[in-house]
Amino acid sequence: MKVKFPLILCLIMGIIGMIAYYVPHKAVQNFDNELRNTALRIIFAFSLVLGVGSIIRHHWEKIKRKREFWEYSYVTLISLFLTAFIGLFGGIDGKGIIKMAIGKFSFDIQTIYVNMAIPLGATMFSLLAYFMASAAYRAFRARNFEAILLLIAAFIVMLASVPPVARLIPKLPYISEWILDVPNTAAKRGMLFGITLGVLSTSLKILLGIERGWLGGK
Amino acid sequence: MASRRIIYLVLTLVILIPLLRPFKLKPLPMKPVEKLFYYINNLPKDKALLISVDYTPDTEAELHPMTIALLKHAFHKRIKVGVLTLTLLGLGLAEDALRVVLKEFNEKAKTREDSIIYGRDYVFLGWQTPPLVPLLGMGESITKVFPVDYYGNKTDTLPLLKEIKNYRDVGIVVSISGSAIPMLYVTYAQTTFGIKVGAGFTAVSAADYYPYLNSGQLTGLLAGMRGGAEYEELLEEHFGKTKRRKATEAMSAQTTAHITIILLIIIGNLIYFLKRKKR
């Protein structure tokens, strides 16, 4: 029953989802709307509880067993509770149930977000520039005909994004657009067809209970 | 190891110096950007612009200027705007973009009519999950999917949402994202309801979106910093100078970085061929 029930539920829900897409009858559409707008949201609300519970348990275990870098788990847990507290009681601009300000300095959720989350996230992403430059220098070699083609295409697309060069050689941006619009689109479409067919067959296998990886492989 | 350190140092300098002292650049607007700009520019008065802020802080530098430029465009043209997000982390970014643009517009406003007012000119619907709910639900009723807005107001009491009820009242939805969320708008909103969709994304994802532009499923594209800068250029051409053009300013650093990377590739290949000759 532990395996059969989720399989039957998955099949029924999958069929309902498909029927709603093809049958415009009001009763079917209303049922689908209700399912999507109410049931799906409730299920997702539970995933938040699961997520928060899981992160607390993971880091608490790490601290308890003093695993590698366990000190950082304190940072995660303190940040989690502090941000949640400020967000829940301080509101968006610090004027919630509890006033989140000392004098003129407000430490509301938006201030924390703009001054901490954004710079930290942007810093991590900006490191990519260094990896790309280093990789381009060491790995981008004209070893064979295909690599030469790739190099030429990359040069044109990169140079076209440089405004002074684009103004100097007015045809360059159009050649770059053509590369993206024609050879790139052709290749991407082929890949997309392949991927979509793969997704379709995997979805059918899941609905019919052939693929059971999501049940823990049972 | 030493060469890697030199590359990192050179790259730091070529990015940092133009960031601190940007030089004047005049981006050349390309067709995908023009298409989006003119579609929004020619929106009928009764149609709204829906901006989906679907990016996270990591891509803020590249994508935030697009949101700001779109908001500026809409407020210049007095197009009604709905802002929402399908990613939780997009909430703070959307709020920040609104604060920046509202400050600029309302500082200049002399009357209430000139001002940009919440509920009359724009709404911030907030976040809703899972994405399927707002993507399909907004085709039926926006207020049903978002019963309260980001600030806790009941959406059915807001004047703007009495006029803008569902996708039929929306001229175009522009999803700005560092992930594949614009594709979800194409798959669900565009295919099911026929709504026009525009997309803004990081430069590395540009190749993924061109097939959708080619097929007409996307109305226009903003690809990376360059896309944002081109949009800012069109804004300035049509509405005069604005306070800051963040994408255009950042293009200085991107320009020098691109040239440096091209030079590094050339140097790398020269060394490779010289070594091969020696062998």
The band of A184, judged by pLDDT with boundaries at 50, 70 and 90, is very high
Does the pLDDT value for residue B123 go beyond 90? yes
- Measured CA to CA, the distance from residue B208 to residue B224 in angstroms comes to 13
- Measured CA to CA, the distance from residue B187 to residue B175 in angstroms comes to 13
Answer whether A130 sits within 8 Å of B11, measured CB to CB: yes
Answer whether A180 sits within 8 Å of B207, measured CB to CB: yes
Does the pLDDT value for residue B253 go beyond 80? yes
Show residues of chain B in contact with A120, CB under 8 Å: 57
**A185 to chain B, minimum CA–CA distance in Å?**
5
pLDDT in tens, A73-113: 999 999 999 999 998 888 777 777 888 878 778 888 888 89
Looking at residue B70, its pLDDT comes to: 97
Structure tokens at B176: 């700005």
* A183 reaches B (C-beta below 8 A): no
Mean pLDDT value across residues B204-221: 93
The dihedral built from the CA positions of residue A176, B18, B232 and B202, taken in this order, carries a sign that is: positive
Show residues of chain B in contact with A136, CB under 8 Å: 261, 264-265, 268
The band of B278, judged by pLDDT with boundaries at 50, 70 and 90, is confident
For residues A48 and B121, the model is more confident at B121
The closest of B136, B122, B197 to B164, measured between CA atoms, is B122
The closest of A14, A164, A203 to B23, measured between CA atoms, is A164
Show residues of chain A in contact with B214, CB under 8 Å: 181, 185
Does the pLDDT value for residue A193 go beyond 80? yes
Are B125 and B84 spatial neighbours (Cβ–Cβ below 8 Å)? Answer: yes
Are B251 and B239 spatial neighbours (Cβ–Cβ below 8 Å)? Answer: no
pLDDT in tens, A108-144: 888 889 999 999 999 998 898 888 888 888 888 888 8
Is beta strand B122-127 parallel, antiparallel or unpaired with respect to B81-85? parallel
Please name the residue that has the structure tokens 């800051």.
B244
Q: How far is CA A170 from CA A114, A159, B225, in A?
A: 39, 11, 19
Chain A: residue whose CA lies nearest to B225: A161
* Domain locations along chain B: 27-248
Percent of chain B residues past pLDDT 70, beyond the cut = 99
Mean pLDDT value across residues A18-24: 88
Looking at residue B249, its pLDDT comes to: 92
Structure tokens at B21: 């002292």
Smallest Cβ–Cβ distance between B255 and the set A109, A151, A163 belongs to A163
Does the pLDDT value for residue A55 go beyond 80? yes
Show residues of chain A in contact with B15, CB under 8 Å: 129
Looking at residue A107, its pLDDT comes to: 83
- Measured CA to CA, the distance from residue B254 to residue B192 in angstroms comes to 39
**What is the average pLDDT value for chain B, to the nearest integer?**
93
Looking at residue A218, its pLDDT comes to: 64
Looking at residue A75, its pLDDT comes to: 95
CATH 3.40.50 fits B27-248, yes or no: yes
pLDDT in tens, B68-87: 999 999 999 999 999 999 99
Answer whether A185 sits within 8 Å of B140, measured CB to CB: no
The stretches of chain A forming alpha helices (DSSP H) are 4-22, 26-34, 40-64, 70-90, 109-112, 118-139, 145-160, 163-168, 171-181, 183-207
Looking at residue B38, its pLDDT comes to: 97
Looking at residue B2, its pLDDT comes to: 64
pLDDT in tens, B144-194: 999 999 999 999 999 999 999 999 999 999 999 999 999 999 999 999 899
Looking at residue B241, its pLDDT comes to: 82
Smallest Cβ–Cβ distance between A36 and the set B132, B151, B203 belongs to B132
Percent of chain B residues past pLDDT 90, beyond the cut = 83
Looking at residue B1, its pLDDT comes to: 59
Chain A: residue whose CA lies nearest to B223: A161
* Domain locations along chain A: 1-67, 69-139, 140-198
Smallest Cβ–Cβ distance between B264 and the set A119, A124, A137 belongs to A137
- Measured CA to CA, the distance from residue A100 to residue B222 in angstroms comes to 38
The CB-side HSE value for A65 (13 A sphere, CA atoms) comes to 8
Smallest Cβ–Cβ distance between A181 and the set B214, B261, B265 belongs to B214
**What is the average pLDDT value for chain A, to the nearest integer?**
90
Looking at residue B24, its pLDDT comes to: 87
Question: What is this model's ipTM?
Answer: 0.85
B134: exposed, middle or buried (C-beta count within 10 Å: 0-12, 13-18, 19+)?
buried
Looking at residue A20, its pLDDT comes to: 87
Task: Give pTM, 2 decimals.
Answer: 0.91
- Measured CA to CA, the distance from residue A153 to residue A140 in angstroms comes to 12
DSSP A202: H
Minimum mean pLDDT range among A17-26, A201-210, B85-94, B223-232: A17-26
